[in-house]
Amino acid sequence: MIEVVVITGRTTDQGMTIDEKLSEAYMKAVSFCEMNEKDMEKLGVKDGDRVLIKNELGEVVLYVKKPEMDLQPPEGIVFIPMGPYANRIVGILNGSGTPQYKGVKATVEKTDRAVLSVEEIIME
C-alpha cells in the first residue's frame, strides 16, 4: 500500500464519450488511473491490473493504465479522469461551494476485486 495525492481532470476520451455515458467506451474512458512507473513497481502492478484507492470519502477499484509516452505523473501522484469513479474518493467540502476535486490524499493497494460498471457504481 502506498500513500498518494489524487488529481482528476478531463481527457480527450472522456470528452468524446460524454454524451454516451451508458456505453462501454465511456466506462473505458473513466475507470482507470495513471501513476508513475516507480509507484507501479512498489505496488507490484502492471498495465491492466486493478487497484483499490481509498480515503475517508470512500473507495473505488480502478484499472491501472501505463501512461502514454513520457506523460507519467510524478511519483506519489495518481491521475483519474473526471467522472463517477473518481467522485467516490474526491470532492472534499470546505465552504466555498466548490468541492475539492484535485489534490486529495488517498492510499492505493493492489486488489483482485472487480471494477464495477458505470451503472453499478452509481446504484451501489
Partner 1 sequence: MIKDVVCTFCGNACDDIEFEGDYGRNLCPVGEAKFARKERIKTPMINGKEVSYDEAIEKAAEILKSSKRPLLYGWSSTVNEAIRLGVIIAEKLGGIYDQCSSVCHAPTTLAMIEQGIVGGTLGQAKNRADVVVFWGCNPVEAHPRHPTRYSVMARGFLTRGRSDRRVIVVDVRKTPTAYLATDFYMIKPNSDFAIFTALRSIVNGHEEAVPDRVGGLKKEELIELAKTLESAKYGLVFFGLGVTHTRGHERNVEAVIKLVQDLNKKTRYILQPMRGHFNVVGSGEVPAWEVGFEYAIDFSRGYARFSPGEFTAVEALIRGDCDAAMIVASDPVAHFPKKAVERLKKIPVIQIDPHPNLTTKIADVVIPTAIVGIEAEGTIYRMDGVPLRVKKIKDTNYPTDVEIMEKLLEKIVR
- Report in angstroms how near the CB of residue 52 gets to partner 1 at its nearest: 16
Say how far apart CA 86 and CA 110 lie, in whole Å. Answer: 17
- Report in angstroms how near the CB of residue 64 gets to partner 1 at its nearest: 16
Choose which of 58, 110, 111, 115 interacts with partner 1 (CB under 8 A): 58
Q: Which three cell numbers stand for residue 11?
A: 481527457
Return all residues near 21 (Cβ < 8 A) that are at least 6 apart.
Answer: 118
Say how far apart CA 101 and CA 82 lie, in whole Å. Answer: 9
Choose which of 38, 41, 74, 109 interacts with partner 1 (CB under 8 A): 74
Q: What Rg, from alpha-carbon coordinates, does the chain have? A: 14
End-to-end CA distance of the chain: 25
Nearer to partner 1, 48 or 103 (CB): 103
Nearer to partner 1, 22 or 114 (CB): 22
Return residues touching partner 1 (CB under 8 A): 5, 7-12, 15-17, 19-23, 57-58, 70-74, 77, 79, 82-84, 87-88, 90-91, 93-103, 118-119, 122-123
